[in-house]
Amino acid sequence: MHTKSLTELAHGLRSGEFSSVELTQHFLKRIKQHQDLNAYITVTEETALQNAIVADARIANGQSTALTGIPIAQKDIFCTLDIKTSCGSKILDNFIAPYNATVVEKFNLAGAVLLGKLNMDEFAMGSSNETSYYGAVKNPWNINTVPGGSSGGSGAAVAARLAACATGTDTGGSIRQPAAHCGITGLKPTYGRVSRYGMIAYASSLDQGGPMARSAEDVAILLQTMAGFDPKDSTSVDLSVPDYSAGLNNPLAGLKIGLPKEFFSNDLNSDMAATLETAINEYRKLGAEVKEVSMPNLRLAIPAYYVIAPAECSANLSRFDGVRFGYRCENPVDLTDLYTRSRGEGFGKEVKRRILMGTYALSTGYYDAYYVKAQKIRRLISDDFKMALTEVDVIMGPVTPTPAFGIGEKIADPIEMYLSDIYTIAINLAGLPALSIPAGFINGLPVGLQIIGNYFSEDRLLNIAHQYQQVTDWHQHTPKGFE
């Protein structure tokens, strides 16, 4: 059952081939079997089975949606009513959310089954899932390598078939990079397409939730449920949601693909370049035209991001103060002691590093030099993309500089770690949609191809990904031991 696509699962449920309870039990069993991957922070076995019973009744009444009875898992950044929502941090280890995130609410309404909450880098700050308070997640393709981050649990769970599909969030690459490292399909929607309400904020102007699944077809089904205007999120966009599955089979003849020369310079490792070249050739065969484009300001993306994101996070994380919820230090002697020890003991190293960087960047005397300048760069990068997207329909490139790296390899060197998001960060700064699809292997580890489109062109991106997945089978490979 765990090898089936979402469409096949929905069909199986409706035809009575298996029930949602059976399907749920099957996934729960797999989760137990593969606990050592550390993909889940919380497994909600009871909730899952209750959800499944309700779903089966709904299916029997003929009131099912495409996701009714389908076992999914949520990144532990989405608040789930009465269920621990840790955001991968010690400071929220005791936090039971008193409400549902809009995304969670939407999956509940659709009748999906919640298997549990997935591991992640603490507060989504990391590119390897190693900053999690709950420990590193192992990549099912090679348990000595990282699954990527921050949605590392989501990437690993979907790749290892420990959930039919999952949610992730992407602030600088946190959906696409783990999708690439785990050999699955992950979409970061246009900023404002998916509600951020109930999604614990890291960097509010960059954060965007999105689906992670095995194929573009599955991702389209998930996005259909996740997308849409939310009156509770002022930055969500009030624009109608298209039918994401309707155009999946549109032909690609005449598609104009742009390859930024900045993405394909000599810095890109030759194995990666060769793999991507093969993938792009498939598109040529499908009738696409390929041309080089230039985005000169891309090189400024990482420095700009590491001013803006920490600045926003320094304020977003102020609410974790030991006063109302979350971790509180023992026997505080006074208010300052309560603050410093609760936060000092509750936050991990990388989170503290980013709070400090952000606080510094916003301080009097530095604000103009850092924050204001970074915002200007952000505008330049957006303009680069806008310009390029007047010449071509989509932009393609690598997702990561290399396939998954070893656990422990980069964690001691933040700069090295930050550079692993070099191809994804600019897209968040511009607010554009982008997805990562499996495009081959290097030494047994998956490689992702990134497809970047214009604002609100998710339907087109999914169509382009789906057509590729009709002529390739990279997305159907399963890691050994998880078949």
Q: Which chain residues interact with another protein by CB under 8 A? A: 78-79, 85, 87, 92, 95, 97-99, 101, 196-201, 203-205, 231-235, 311-312, 314-315, 317-321, 323-326, 335, 339, 359, 362-364, 367, 371
The amino acid present at 76, given as its one-letter code, is D
Of the candidates 481, 475, 480, the residue with the CA atom closest to the CA atom of residue 179: 475
Of the candidates 66, 142, 164, the residue with the CA atom closest to the CA atom of residue 110: 66
From the candidates 127, 174, 195, 436, which is the catalytic residue? 174
For residue 240, indicate whether it is catalytic: no
Cβ 364 to another protein shortest distance, Å = 5
For residue 150, indicate whether it is catalytic: yes
Q: How far is CA 183 from the centre of its chain?
A: 13
Cis peptide before 151 (omega within 30 of 0): no
Give the C-alpha separation, 323 to 33, whole Å: 39
Q: Which helix (H) or strand (E) holds 41?
A: strand 40-43
319 Cβ contact list (under 8 Å, min separation 6):
none
CA distances from 435 to 176, 186, 211, 412 (A): 6, 6, 10, 29
For residue 75, indicate whether it is catalytic: yes
Cβ 368 to another protein shortest distance, Å = 11
Give the helix ranges, DSSP H, for 212-330. 216-226, 270-285, 301-316
Identify each DSSP E strand in 127-254 by its residue range: 165-170, 185-188, 208-213
For residues 202 and 283, which CB has a smaller minimum distance to another protein in the complex?
A: 202
For residues 368 and 483, which CB has a smaller minimum distance to another protein in the complex?
A: 368
Rg (Cα) of the chain, in Å, rounded? 21
From the candidates 20, 75, 188, 420, which is the catalytic residue? 75
From the candidates 150, 245, 342, 457, which is the catalytic residue? 150
In this structure, the chain runs to a length of: 483
Cβ 370 to another protein shortest distance, Å = 11
Cβ 134 to another protein shortest distance, Å = 17
Cβ 283 to another protein shortest distance, Å = 36
For residues 334 and 483, which CB has a smaller minimum distance to another protein in the complex?
A: 334
Cβ 192 to another protein shortest distance, Å = 10
230 Cβ contact list (under 8 Å, min separation 6):
102, 195, 197, 236
347 Cβ contact list (under 8 Å, min separation 6):
89, 90, 91, 122, 317, 320, 355
DSSP for 2-40 reads: TTS-HHHHHHHHHHTSS-HHHHHHHHHHHHHHTGGG--E
* Burial category of 414 from C-beta neighbours within 10 Å (exposed 0-12, middle 13-18, buried 19 and up): middle
Report the relative pairing of strands 165-170 and 208-213 from DSSP bridges: antiparallel
Give the C-alpha separation, 187 to 216, whole Å: 9
Cβ 291 to another protein shortest distance, Å = 35
For residues 141 and 327, which CB has a smaller minimum distance to another protein in the complex?
A: 327
User: Which residue's structure tokens are 């621990």?
Assistant: 84
Cβ 324 to another protein shortest distance, Å = 6
Which residues belong to the active site?
75, 150, 174
